[in-house]
Amino acid sequence: MTSMTSTPPTPLTTGPVAGSPDAAPAPGGVTFDGVVKRYGGQTVLDVARLDVPHRSFTVVVGPSGCGKSTGLRVVAGLETPDSGRVRIGGTDVTDTPPGRRGVSMVFQDFALYPHLTVEQNIAFGLRLEAKHNRRAGPDKAEIAQRVTDACAMLGLAELRRRRPSQLSGGERQRVGLARAIVRRPRVLLLDEPLSALDAQLRQHARAELVRLHRELGNTVILVTHDQLEALSMGTNLVVMNAGRVAQTGVPADVYQRPADTFVATFVGSPTMNLHDVEPRPHPAGGELVGPGIRAVVAGAGLPRRVRLGWRAGDGVLETPTGVSPASERPTDEAPTGPGLTLEGLIDVVEFTGESTVIHCVGPAGGWRASVGSGVAVPAVGERVRLRVEPDKLHLFDTATGLRLADPAGPVAEPVPSLGGVRPDGV
C-alpha cells in the first residue's frame, strides 16, 4: 500500500487508503506513525504517516538536511524517535535494538572494519549471531557458505583476503553491500551509497543495485539527494522537505503530478518552469494571464493567484529558425485554444547531447525549454513562441504551494502499477 499523510494534509490523499491503516502489512513493509525527531530545539523529522511497501525499492529524496538520513537511521534503530512508532512487517520495532530488527545498512562511507579482511567484514554479523545464539544461530559451515554466496553475488571472490585499504571505491561499496545482504535482512537500507563513487561507476552501480533488489526480493530503502537516482531506480518514491514527507508515489506519478511547488522544482531536470498568473473567466473553463503569458485551462473555481508550471521538455517551439518576428502575426490566434502560449528571447543555448536546453527571457521572467537534438534550435537573441498542451500544465496555489485540480479536466487515471506497488491513495 502506497499511502501517505502528513501534516499539513496534502491533496495527495485523494481517497481513502485501501483497507484500514492498521491492516497487517506484508513482512518487510516499514511504517512510520507520527515519528518526530528533534535535535536540540530543532525538529529534523516529523512524519505523520509513511508506508514503505513490502518488497518495494523505495527511494527517499530531498535536499540536504531534509531529514532523509535521520529517517533511515530511525528505521535502523541508530536513532530513537522522540515520539511516534516505527513498524517493520507490522511489528512495532521502536524499542527493538538495531541488531534484532532484521535490518541492515550500507553507509555512505561504507564503514568497513579496517582491521578485518573482506571476508571477515562480511562474516562479522553472522559470527556474532552464532555467538549470541548457539542453538539457532548459523554454524561455521553455514557462515562460510553464506559468505561465499554473498561474495559470488557481488563479484568479490578474488578479493576475499584483502583489507579495505587495498580496495577501490567501487569494490568497497560492493563489500558494504555484501556485508549487508549476507544477513538476509527484511529491509536493506542504503544511505547515499553511490555518492562516494565517480560518475562512470555510479551509473553502473545504479543498475547493479536495481538488479540486486530484483534477485533478493526484499524491501530496499535508498536515500539520495540526487533526483536522477530518485526517478530512475525506485519503484516507489518519497520526496522529503524540511523534515516532512512532501509526496510519495510511483516515480512517474510524482514526476507527472507533483504535489506542490517544492516537489515540482526538486524532481526533474531542468527544473519545472513556474509563473505567477491571474485567473479570468473563460468559456472553456478559465484563462490564466500574466505578463507575456496566456493559458486556457478546463478547471474552474481557481483561487485568486495561481502558479502555473510546465516542464522544460513539454514545451513545443512554434517559431522555427529564420522566421522573422513580423511573420508571427497569424499565429497570434493560437492562444484562444486550450494550453499555454509563452514568448521570450533566447538568452543561452545549452547542448547536452540528447537534447538542447534553451534559456529564454521574456515578460514572464526567465524560463527553460528542452528540445530534442534533431530539432533546429534558433540562435541566441531570437524571439521564440512556445506552446504547452493543457494536459502538460501544472497548477499550484500561490499561497500554499499545493497542487490544484488538473488543468486538463477530470483527474487522470493513476499510472499502472510498477513492481508490485499499487499507487492507491496517491
Positions in the binding site for another protein (CB under 8 A): 73, 76-78, 98-100, 103-105, 107-109, 111-115, 124-125, 128-129, 132, 179, 183
Instruction: Retrieve residue 318's grid coordinates.
Output: 512554434
Nearest residue (CB) to another protein, 128 versus 412: 128
| Beta-ladder partners of 368 | 359
Closest contact distance (angstroms) between CB of 183 and another protein is 8
Nearest residue (CB) to another protein, 111 versus 361: 111
Closest contact distance (angstroms) between CB of 78 and another protein is 5
Closest contact distance (angstroms) between CB of 115 and another protein is 4
| Beta-ladder partners of 188 | 104, 220
Closest contact distance (angstroms) between CB of 204 and another protein is 24
Closest contact distance (angstroms) between CB of 316 and another protein is 48
Instruction: Retrieve residue 356's grid coordinates.
Output: 538542447
Nearest residue (CB) to another protein, 113 versus 351: 113
Q: Is 289 exposed, middle or buried (0-12, 13-18, 19+ CB in 10 A)?
A: middle
Is the peptide bond between 8 and the residue preceding it cis, with omega within 30 degrees of 0? Answer: yes
Helix or strand (DSSP H, E) at 130 = helix 118-132
Closest contact distance (angstroms) between CB of 32 and another protein is 19
Closest contact distance (angstroms) between CB of 139 and another protein is 17
Strands annotated E in 181-256 = 187-191, 219-224, 236-241, 244-249
By the 8 A CB rule, do 117 and 147 touch? no
Closest contact distance (angstroms) between CB of 90 and another protein is 21
Nearest residue (CB) to another protein, 115 versus 204: 115
Could you give the 3-state DSSP secondary structure of residue 394?
Answer: strand
- What are the b/e assignments for 72-92, b being 16+ CB within 10 Å? bbbbbbebebeebebbbbeee
Q: How far, CA to CA in Å, does 423 sit from each of 13, 98, 219, 220?
A: 11, 30, 17, 18
Nearest residue (CB) to another protein, 125 versus 409: 125
Q: What angle do CA 96, 100, 106 make, to 5 degrees?
A: 110
Nearest residue (CB) to another protein, 100 versus 214: 100
Nearest residue (CB) to another protein, 167 versus 306: 167
Is the peptide bond between 270 and the residue preceding it cis, with omega within 30 degrees of 0? Answer: yes
Nearest residue (CB) to another protein, 103 versus 421: 103
